[in-house]
Amino acid sequence: MKYYDDLRSYIDALDAMGDIMHVRREVDGDFEPSAVTRRSYEIQSPAPLFHKVAGVAPGFRLFGAPASLSSVAGMPYARVAMSLGLAPASSGAEIIEALSAARHQPGIPPVRVSSENALCHQNILRGDDASLDRFPIPFAHDKDGGRYANTWGTLIVRTPDGKWVNWSIARVMKVDGKRMVGLMVPSQHIGQIWAEWVKLGQPMPYALVQGPAPAISCVSGIPIPAHADEADYIGTLAGAPVAVVKAVSIDLDVPATAEIVIEGHVSISRDCQEGPYGEYGGYLGSGSSAQPTFHVEAITHRDDPIWPMSITGRPTEESHTLWAMGLAADALTHLRDAGIPVKTTWIPEDSTVHWLLVVMPQNWRDLLPGMSSEALAQRIGEVLFATDAMVFIPKVYVVDDDFDPTNLREVVWVLSTRVHPVGRRAIFDEQRVIRLPQCYEEEEYVQGKGAKVVFDTLQTTRHLHASFEQGYPADVRQRVLDNW
């Protein structure tokens, strides 16, 4: 296990494993880097590192697919695991357990270093020099409303009273060299903090951090409780405090080893059009909405900076790996805190964050005496659909632990053979609905209300599988293997 405290050491580690694809020819500054990255997701190739992008200064680089599935055989979740300081061969269940366990451990607050010791302050740009036009920001998809300046960066904001600092990922579109426009969802933490500044009538200070330590990017993209500081949680995962430095133009601390830091203020009104954008559900966007403007006032960066990007779309990209694991860990934590003895939770990558599997141990009936599977499904829904993170998940499946939930072939077999066509489900009407899940009707999006469901697939009697492992005596299996 090793914690990587900057993006470059992480890239070097992936490279040593053969999981980096060096693109040394010049690529265009519009669509080519995103198209290469998108194909790398779809064929599960090494992560592309672009060394030469047209239209920007030599040395400025792009890094795609930072936390998607690994190309290394037998270690599909290596990029996520290594980002979090876990062993490359960690299983999905082990990653989720680590994320959940850290929720109940004391946080380790960050430590501030001097500007002279902060790599992100190697270059400081102010005034007209602080322009986004310096950087290789491509179009993510050809139907997008603009170049997206944030797909894998960390937005840092703080409440006016200074009591809550939030690090998160939200999509932000470049308008021009001095302006961006970001999706500000009221229910998300950044939206809640922005609303406090709006009440005061004051623009919100922000820092947009590109290429910090990979754990920072990962934790910024997963749910943790409101008013908890992500920096403290990252310190717990790392076992050491995150090094931060005071921003050069605003009163915020930023990760000291980051590649690029953009500083400024967010407008108090939704005064600029954002979108469309191709999202994680796998479809190109078709609409836009009024969102607040992010004004650019200062930029700092390392020498020869690297700009990471996640190109959302069909599986499998960071939404379906890291974010899904974070949502699953959040569900696991809430269910266990409610006294439900869940073995693990999992969101299959190919479900595009529309399914959640709740895996129950074989002896769950002994642990919950007198509870039927129908009552258990109802209780699971009551717990989960009361949480903020579950606004993204419309379908929950309660399953036995006699298969591998991370193996899509086995998941399809279990759901096909154990989901009753009509019964054995708990339906929750009038649940909160947002536009990101793709399965609702337009009137449900407009009303912000729709149904969610928990499918009870638990077996009354466990059946043996007609498989190599369960269909033959042990001595026969061994003889087959010995002579294979």
C-alpha pair distances (Å), 315 with each of 62, 98, 416, 447? 21, 24, 21, 29
Q: Is 26 a catalytic residue?
A: no
pLDDT band at 18 (very low <50, low <70, confident <90, very high): very high
Q: What is the mean pLDDT of the chain?
A: 96
CATH code 2.30.110.10 region(s) in the chain: 93-309
**Percent over 70 (pLDDT), the chain:** 100
Flag whether pLDDT at 166 surpasses 80: yes
Domain boundaries 338-456, CATH class? alpha beta
Q: What is the mean pLDDT of residues 123-148?
A: 97
How close are the terminal C-alpha atoms of the chain, in Å? 35
pLDDT band at 279 (very low <50, low <70, confident <90, very high): very high
Flag whether pLDDT at 462 surpasses 90: no
CATH code 3.40.1670.10 region(s) in the chain: 338-456
Q: What is the mean pLDDT of residues 32-46?
A: 98
Q: What is the mean pLDDT of residues 457-474?
A: 94
Residues paired with residue 210 on neighbouring β-strands, in sequence order: 260
Flag whether pLDDT at 41 surpasses 90: yes
At 386, the amino acid letter reads: A
Burial 75-85 (b: 16+ CB within 10 A, else e): bbbbbbbbbbb
pLDDT score of 397: 98
Burial 166-178 (b: 16+ CB within 10 A, else e): bbbbbbbbbbeeb
How far, in Å, CA of 231 to CA of 215, rounded? 10
Catalytic one of 279, 317, 318, 349: 279
pLDDT score of 228: 87
Using DSSP's 3-state secondary structure scheme, residue 265 falls into: strand
pLDDT band at 187 (very low <50, low <70, confident <90, very high): confident
> Which alpha helices (H) appear in 385-450, and where do they start and end?
408-418, 442-447
pLDDT score of 106: 93
Dump pLDDT digits (tens) for 397-415: 999 999 999 999 999 999 9
pLDDT score of 32: 98
How far, in Å, CA of 254 to CA of 245, rounded? 5
Task: Return the CATH number of the domain spanning residue range 93-309.
Answer: 2.30.110.10
Flag whether pLDDT at 461 surpasses 90: no
pLDDT score of 158: 97
Helix, strand, coil percentages for the chain (3-state, nearest 5): 30, 25, 45
